[in-house]
Amino acid sequence: MKVSRNQIGKKRKHQESSANTSETAPEDTVASTMDANDGFTFTEVNSVKASSMKVISCHFSADGKWLATAGHDKKAVLWYTDGLKRKSIFEGHSSLITDVCFSPSMPYLATSSFDKTIRVWDAGNPRNSLHTFRGHSTCVMSVDFHPNRDDLICSCDGDGEIRYWSITNSNCARVFKGGSAQIRFQPRLGRYLAAAEDYAVSILDVETQACGHLLQGHVKPIHFLCWDPSGEYIASVSEDFVRIWTVGSGDKGECIHELSSKGNKFYSCVFHPTNPSLLIIGCYQASRNLHLLTTLAITLKMLSIIFVDYVAGMVSMTDMQLWAFTSVFGTLEHDPKQVYDTSCS
């Protein structure tokens, strides 16, 4: 698990040649760079080994005190964000874990797995899962809690089946089709559910399951979805492109920005929690680096690069300004940030 510090501030003079940046080897786990005109930088401050196997998902608790990681070792691990000390291990899945997330309002943790189940855990008591939901006929690829309905979680499997689950009643509340790669509820309001399947993203009404927008344009399968904090925009990532879409009230589901990977392979993304004009994109192979980009502006512009090993997943936490990046080499890159000026020039 690697820790990096990132700062957004007023413009500062910083002389670092592009030649020096390009000489940073991919095997160098983390390297700090900064654009002199933008004042954005990453600096590693801590690291710890999260697993001997691939770590592919991570998520912060709502209060920022805990960070959960999960992956191919079939376990979810809870870490204290202060000091990156391991708190507890959650075991019970019989195959790799594909996704992990915290409830926004309850001390619950949910995991999805190739073993076709979803488990809900008490974050304070790792000994047994509170609920094990069964019903999917194939690998469960993603899970998410509704932002303001404590009882509702959602999952999708590799065959495109989406299920709503009631935590209170311990049963499946609804089944429908629409997503096979990842599902994410709209932040704050929770009116929409974004579901990625193959080359498109469906924006579904949570209550009626009607498809309000079908976001098309990718020519390779979509790996990852991320809403901006306002719930007005969503980013979709395939290995060759990232696209930003407008999906808020009154919007037509239009692509307002796109960026090519230019030989790298994009995999994951997350919007900056307090400056939504910034998007972090994780990629692998080629230079194996992590790009920081402006997104919801007139143009897409690279601000900074941090070199890591194969970024598989990432997440941000608003109140404490934390970033976390997962790596298939079993490390978690955990990035506490300080935001001195939320404007970006």
User: H helices of the chain, where?
Assistant: 18-22
Cα–Cα distance for residue pair 170/172, rounded to 1 Å: 7
- Whose tokens are 């691939």? That residue is 54
Residue 179 and residue 156 in contact, taking contact as beta carbons nearer than 8 Å: yes
Per-residue pLDDT reduced to its tens digit, 137-146: 999 999 999 9
| Residue-wise burial string across 120-129, b where 16 or more C-beta atoms lie within 10 A, e elsewhere | bbebeebeeb
Contact status, residue 50 vs residue 77, Cβ threshold 8 Å = yes
Sorted by where each starts, the structural domains of the chain and their CATH numbers stand as: 1-47+261-345 (no CATH), 52-177 (2.130.10.10)
Q: What is the pLDDT of residues 140-194, one digit of tens each?
A: 999 999 999 999 999 999 999 999 999 999 999 999 999 999 999 999 999 999 9
Question: For 335-340, what is the mean pLDDT?
Answer: 31
Cα-based distances in Å from 249 to 6, 113, 181, 232: 33, 34, 25, 8
pLDDT at 94: 98
Residue 333 confidence (pLDDT) above 60: no
